[in-house]
A and B are shown apart, each in its own frame.
Chain A
């Protein structure tokens, strides 16, 4: 399994190449489908929130017996499960007009999805002999590097562009063209709404970051916080072919537990 036999490769590089080859040999699916699945979970979360809040409103008026009967019929008759289906773009519009409380609930839901994804993802990446990861000297910085390099590459096919830290538990992760919202733009004069609409798209990776950290021992919710915001793309990084590529900054704060 010596890839190209270049003699000047160090041992670590060799393992790295092997890891890469191994990753490539794993079963694959189409990327578009994955992107759509990931992005569709935002309208999904909005829809769930909408239905749940509607249910609370309509619950007292409904006859419980009738409802259970209805449910039974439904489980037998799988036809017409599209009852009440709302198109994704309508759902996103609904999100725009909803109040802050509602938006917060949607975001929480998304970050939970991200969290459980992150927890499992780190296992997937560590137990496949990842050379970038070493349990011996695992400090926070190593974990963050792992996040920026391996987790991000797995999720978005690229590394985080910039990692900044104050060495006291605060990290800034900058991604200059954030993949999921690459092709995202509203009409020209709606940039403020664009910002609002983009926010939920940042929740899943936030959850992933927290999930990965949690699975590696930075567990308690109070210890780790993660916020994301859209930032200006630095002049030097703007690529000419794209008018608007969104740069995202993830601000991760890890407060070390008092006993460690």
Chain B
């Protein structure tokens, strides 16, 4: 979407190549891979068990998935930073680029589009054209109304961004599983969390 980082300028290894090529490289060479179908099936089993447990109260399922994702996100960010050694992002635009081109690529091997920027540049949308979580998934009628099947993604983003000191709200706007045209995840930055300074001796 936005212009990719013009290559060859910065000396740091991470930004010498374009972010896209860089994450392609990480995905190819530094990643242990596992069958995507297995991943889909596992997630499916978890969701369906959750629906049974909560007796198809999908609001609770959504929340549970979100909080599961959060718990994953706060730990996944460690792995992400260790593997890519990317520096801190100086703007939300940069963050969005890292999320789409790098994070999604490295973990799920998809590159979603970024768009729909708000006028004051504090929120954007991620358009998931392919979503490995919901391959061959079809929701039953009652679930299609309320369930955000891939809600775990929102939780993961929330948790991971919080760990890099960005307090965000992340939620699904639309999902192809619900009959929408696109799968859209909205990310809204509330504030940048401050670096805590240890209390002085005096």
A interface list, Cβ under 8 A from B = 23, 26-34, 36-38, 40-41, 43-44, 47-48, 51-52, 71, 74-75, 78-79, 81-88, 109, 112-114, 116-117, 120-121, 124, 154-155, 157
Chain B interface residue count, Cβ-Cβ cutoff 8 angstroms: 49
With contact pairs A82-B66, A113-B46 given, residues A121 and B108 touching in the complex (Cβ less than 8 Å): no
B93 at the A/B interface (Cβ < 8 Å)?
A: no
CA distance A41 to B48 in the complex (A): 12
With contact pairs A52-B53, A154-B35 given, residues A34 and B67 touching in the complex (Cβ less than 8 Å): no
Is A120 touching B43 in the complex (CB atoms < 8 A)? no
Q: Interface digits, B23-59 against A, CB 8 Å rule (1 contact, 0 not)?
A: 0000100011111111101111110111011100001
Question: B25 to chain A: closest CB distance in Å?
Answer: 14
Collect the chain A residues with CB atoms within 8 Å of residue B37's CB. Answer: 26-27, 124
Cβ contact of B33, chosen from A31, A74, A75, cutoff 8 A: A31
With contact pairs A31-B31, A48-B64 given, residues A120 and B45 touching in the complex (Cβ less than 8 Å): yes
A-B contacts, 27 of them at CB < 8 A, read: A26-B37, A28-B35, A28-B109, A29-B34, A29-B107, A30-B27, A30-B33, A30-B34, A34-B42, A37-B43, A44-B46, A44-B64, A47-B68, A48-B64, A51-B60, A78-B171, A78-B172, A79-B169, A81-B63, A82-B70, A84-B67, A85-B71, A86-B67, A87-B71, A117-B41, A117-B45, A124-B41
**Main SS of the interface on chain A?**
helix
CA distance A74 to B158 in the complex (A): 18
Cβ contact of A23, chosen from B35, B62, B66, B132, cutoff 8 A: B35
Interface residues of B in 57-112 (CB under 8 A from A): 59-60, 62-64, 66-68, 70-72, 74-76, 79, 106-109
Is B46 touching A41 in the complex (CB atoms < 8 A)? yes
B146 at the A/B interface (Cβ < 8 Å)?
A: yes
- The number of A-B residue pairs with CB atoms under 8 Å apart is 136
Is B59 touching A36 in the complex (CB atoms < 8 A)? no
With contact pairs A38-B42, A79-B171 given, residues A29 and B49 touching in the complex (Cβ less than 8 Å): no
With contact pairs A30-B31, A117-B41 given, residues A82 and B158 touching in the complex (Cβ less than 8 Å): yes
CA distance A83 to B62 in the complex (A): 12
Collect the chain A residues with CB atoms within 8 Å of residue B71's CB. Answer: 40, 43, 85, 87-88
B interface list, Cβ under 8 A from A = 27, 31-39, 41-46, 48-50, 52-54, 59-60, 62-64, 66-68, 70-72, 74-76, 79, 106-109, 132, 146, 151, 155, 158, 169, 171-172
Is B42 touching A117 in the complex (CB atoms < 8 A)? yes
CA distance A88 to B71 in the complex (A): 6
With contact pairs A32-B76, A75-B146 given, residues A47 and B31 touching in the complex (Cβ less than 8 Å): no
With contact pairs A29-B33, A33-B107 given, residues A81 and B41 touching in the complex (Cβ less than 8 Å): no
CA distance A15 to B107 in the complex (A): 31
Collect the chain A residues with CB atoms within 8 Å of residue B64's CB. Answer: 44, 47-48, 51
Collect the chain B residues with CB atoms within 8 Å of residue A34's CB. Answer: 34, 38-39, 42
CA distance A114 to B31 in the complex (A): 25
Collect the chain A residues with CB atoms within 8 Å of residue B63's CB. Answer: 81, 83
Is A116 touching B49 in the complex (CB atoms < 8 A)? yes
Question: B172 to chain A: closest CB distance in Å?
Answer: 8
CA distance A87 to B71 in the complex (A): 6
Collect the chain B residues with CB atoms within 8 Å of residue A124's CB. Answer: 37-38, 41
Nearest A residue to B105 via CB reads A30
Q: Which of A27, A86, A155 has the most B CB atoms < 10 Å from its CB?
A: A27
Collect the chain B residues with CB atoms within 8 Å of residue A48's CB. Answer: 50, 53-54, 64
